[in-house]
Amino acid sequence: MSRHAAQRRVTAPDIAARKGGDPIVALTSYHAHTARLADPHVDILLVGDSVGMVLYGHGSTLPVTLETMILHGRVVAGATERALVVVDMPFGSYEESPQQAFRNAARVMKETGCGAVKLEGGARMAETIHFLVERGVPVMAHIGLTPQSVNALGGFKVQGREEAQWTTIEKDARAVAEAGAFCVVVEAVAEPLARRITESVPIPTIGIGASPACDGQILVMEDMLGLNPSPPKFVKTYARLAEAIEGAIATYAQEVRTRAFPDERHVYGMKTRT
């Protein structure tokens, strides 16, 4: 029997019901082995389009394709049993119209087995969010710093550090909630504004560079594991895996060059005849 066989997978309505309750734990994941490790400990695994930067070395999320998201989404969903798996809709796959968004979101859900999709944008995407939700596609919204809009924003800039920006961001939060999103990621938003949004909207807020008052938190897994040499300010590093990995590789290389590896424990002998 599976070690998690008695546990039901977390659903979008489960997350929505956590508003004001126990904090929601979320991480990104793009591959099977990290998904399996995280699954017992988190509520949400986001297959983010950050995969383009984290695994493929792109300078932004913009080059990521729908096929790439489906590939990684299928792997993460297949490797997990408990966490709600959410797959990012990549740039260009949903902005044109609600109909385009539904076609692509339906494909994502069919081909990955995920429980929800995420898309960026506040009030401008409210109609699309409503269209998807009405047709059975749970939507995680994303406001504040929206990485797919990096060119329009002029870079990865913190939002809401001037009160003149607050009204627009608050309207975005209310719009996605009213449209039916089950939760909303609030990214790189000044702490007082993120706190105020959390207190004012009826759906859970998932903070990343936002506020401890948010209903949950999310980080890019590779950032918090210490694999990114230059993580954003909002990242707390919980491990130093880059150093550990490089050290292990250096030791391996040395042992191969000195013929210390493989030794007799790592090779096969002949069968003995009886």
Active site residues: 187
Token digits of residue 165: 């920006």
Q: Name the DSSP class of 189.
A: B
Q: With contact defined as beta carbons under 8 Å apart, do 9 and 84 qualify?
A: yes
Token digits of residue 241: 């895996």
> Which runs of E-coded beta strand occur in the chain?
24-28, 44-47, 84-88, 116-118, 139-144, 183-187, 205-208, 216-219
- Counted residue by residue, the chain has a size of 274
Q: What angle do CA 83, 206, 143 make, to 5 degrees?
A: 125
Helix axes 126-134, 98-112, angle to 10 degrees: 50
For residues 3 and 11, give the distance between their C-alpha atoms in angstroms, rounded to a whole number: 19
Torsional class of 113: left (φ above 0), alpha (ψ -120 to 50), beta (otherwise): left
Token digits of residue 130: 């409503």
Name the nearest CA neighbour of 89 among 175, 27, 147.
147
